[in-house]
A and B are shown apart, each in its own frame.
Chain A
Amino acid sequence: MASGELLGRAALEQILPGGIAGAGTQILSIACNNNCGGRCRLNAHIKDGRVIRSSTDETPDSESMPQLRACLKGRAAANRMYHPDRLKYPMKRVGRRGESEFQRISWDEAVETIASNLRRTLERHGPASVYIQYGTGDCGAVSGVAAARRLMNLLGGHLGYYNSYSSACLRYTAPFVTGYRDTNSYQTLVHSRLIVLNGFNPAETVFETNSNYYLSKARGAGAKIVVIDPRYTETAATFAHEWLPLKPTTDTALFLAMAHVIITENLLDQAFLDKYCIGFDETHMPPGVPAGESFKTYVLGLQDHSPKTPEWAAPITGIDASTIRNLAREYATSKPAQLLQGLGPQRHAHGEQSVRAGIVLACMTGNLGIPGGGWGGGEGGRSLGAGVGELPTGANPVKTRIPVFLWTDAVVRGTEMTADDGLQAGPLESNIKFIFNLASNTLVNQHADINRTVRILQDEKLVECIVVSDHFMTPSARFADVLLPADQSLERDDFGFPWSGEKYVVFGNKVVDPPFECRHEYWWLSRVAEKLGIGEKFSEGKTREDWLKQIADDAKRNNAAFPSWDELTRTGLYREKPEAYVAFEKEIRDPAGHPFKTPSGKIEIFSKALFDMNKPEITGIPQYIPAWEGPEDSLIRKYPLQCIGPHYKRRTHSTFDENAWMEEAEPQAMWISPQDAGRRGITDGSKVRVFNDRGALIIAARVTKRVRPGVVAIPQGAWYTPDRDGVCRRGCINVLTSQRPTPLAHGNAQHTILVEVQAADGGQGG
């Protein structure tokens, strides 16, 4: 063994990567603007025009101001940028749409093609025929989507949408109960004695930069943590004291059974219910409602003769009755208790009910509006923000809006859509004819029932023109008519916003030039605007950078503490001290002065508005309705396994699927229980075929106890890679999902799938 002498600087320089930092290395903050809920501080280290490494938040790390550390994806930002498969040049389609045959064109030709197609579409079909696809590949302040909206709003408008693919049921439904949707901030968790995480998995999905940090602190402070999830997620493994392996789509049944226990064992916070809520019992109903419609009546089964006992819920949920009973008692007696529902439980056939049932449960125990006690759906949705705006898009002259999930309907039968479809301010004068798909993989990959979508898109008489801008040849890019190469976040200046929870904003510098002919959408949209005669109105003579500077100036004008542009480029951050924020605190403290923003001014456990809609699946109170393609659907005899599509730590939706480092860290694989695998001759690592009536895919199996029997989990976001028979070889779950929307929000029910699984490759392992 060589003796351990101190290696001199010269020797170190030989063996260490990138040499010693010092002369020639510049360190600049960058923005990582993916749709993960985190917004972290990242730096790029640049030497000789190349990013040689990254680093994260280097400000002091303290409990009152924890660093904003990036995750594995953020640390791979440069790696992603240097991927050899970057789209390099503008291209136009030759051959049939979807065949992915492209020819390189100049930017001039691309701009001309887009402008002339847009002009023709507007002339023939009107502005409501233009659709700017939902997409969150770029969450910055001056994004391609914002620029496209700005353009269209100057050209007469475009078909709008409401909801999102993330939180349709939550966003739409929570206001019926509490007036608006809100969550206690993570800083309050440390006060909780019990934290119930229902389909909430920040350890894998981030959901704000320091979510797990605060969860860990809460656990350290003595909070008991219960995870309700079909999978033993990383969140469960690290934080949970107890795991309830629930069958997907049955959350509402669980909560109803818990409500039953709380009622029958007199664990109610009756004072809270009487003071703040209507609809809980018969004596607190709004006027004009027949008797027997209260929540209590329903739970006790007084009207439908089906008391929602733990014994009733056990076979439905797959959780045994004593566990349900114990959790109910614990939830009612551990105060304050925080119930956090992730976005998974609201992304199924009756996601609306999960949301409502959760809120009601919180109200029954008085766990709302107090530090450590609350109900939260996802990340909250409040905009504490930091006063930093985005590119102004102006008002959309077209008032018609579709539910975002029904865009394929709007392509096929837009003019026939009605309010029953969730169409707002209709009718539509035209189906969708022109689609901008910018920094988005919704066109194909992230929308449900890919085989159906593909057939619709292949018909060039339906959608006449599709313009796509992206970094790679994604499944959506393959369906472009004009395909444009976009720049990445390190190749431009930008702001980055957290979802909510803290008042801060990050600033990312442009650290390298975009390669080849990659350009930001704002640039070519400006030129399209010029072609269409509204160049000045669109750009106001500003480049994208000018707009950013203006946004920064505006922020500084509204807030003297906001840094100057120079300081922003240097520090990459404006951040105020994180505060513990309690949702509905005002309403709870002073209900007279701050009534809930509902028709009754109270929390509407019973909603007359919903009741009056008079639809069988839209109920006055939260009810358990068995999901179509759920565990009680007779289809389960043909397709015996429930399938869910969790969000994967190595991707943000479909971003990073192309990345080799991410694939090495966590390869695309389907979780399946040893029981289900054994019965089918499937071994760990072997390839399996997963299919239902809508499509099929091949994926590697990960046989693990961490998913409940009867359920398989295919991480969503993998790129649709069909073979000659249309079978996806990469494991894109959306070949299996359905385009059927949820009843109230008309949202995506993408965790409602029944499948069968078979060994492929003769069932050999490895």
Chain B
Amino acid sequence: MNGVHDMGGMHGMGAIHYEKNEPVFHARWESRVFALFRLTRAWNKWNVDVSRRQIESIPAAQYLRMSYYERWFTALGELLVASGLITRAELVKGKRARGSPKATPPITAAQVASMPSAAALARREAPVAPRFQAGQQVRARNLHPVDHTRLPRYARGKLGAIHRDHGVWAFPDAIAHFLSDKPQHVYSVRFAARELWGETASPRDAVYLDLWDDYLEPA
């Protein structure tokens, strides 16, 4: 999706504000959102790309205005309702509907340390052959999916070189829609700064992106 979240290379986003000795959470509610998000994911009603897609669908002006945890919180409410774990009325009222059954949380305190990460959940063991080899020249395809993708706009149509093969992973453009995984190789691809940003960029610098096989074509 060509949304504002895809902001690599955009200008006008303001200054970088650095806070010294920044606390992990700036308000208690942030820590609660963080924990709720992680623990509700354990219900397996959605995967990480579904949740990213949800965040990306926040209207642009709101997305830019919101803080990081506010975006998570906004998306979380929608994910919970859409998955059927809670109802819209329950979300609005903050109270369990009378008569609705009480479930048993899948993760207890003791299990917190061993919860799998998003990366662990995204890896696939499928014996899929890679289309590209290290050192090979590739071009990022000129794709403009209307929905979730992890191919940033700034790289589309650009020429790069395969730096490394990261193995096989689920394909985000598919799993964001609960479609079958389409497991495929993910590569680290090197793009020269000048290729991305034009003649005035450094002749020496580069940007490396991790891109799925489906995002690439031979150059």
The yes or no verdict on A and B being binding partners is no
Interface on B for A, CB 8 Å cutoff?
none
Interface on A for B, CB 8 Å cutoff?
none
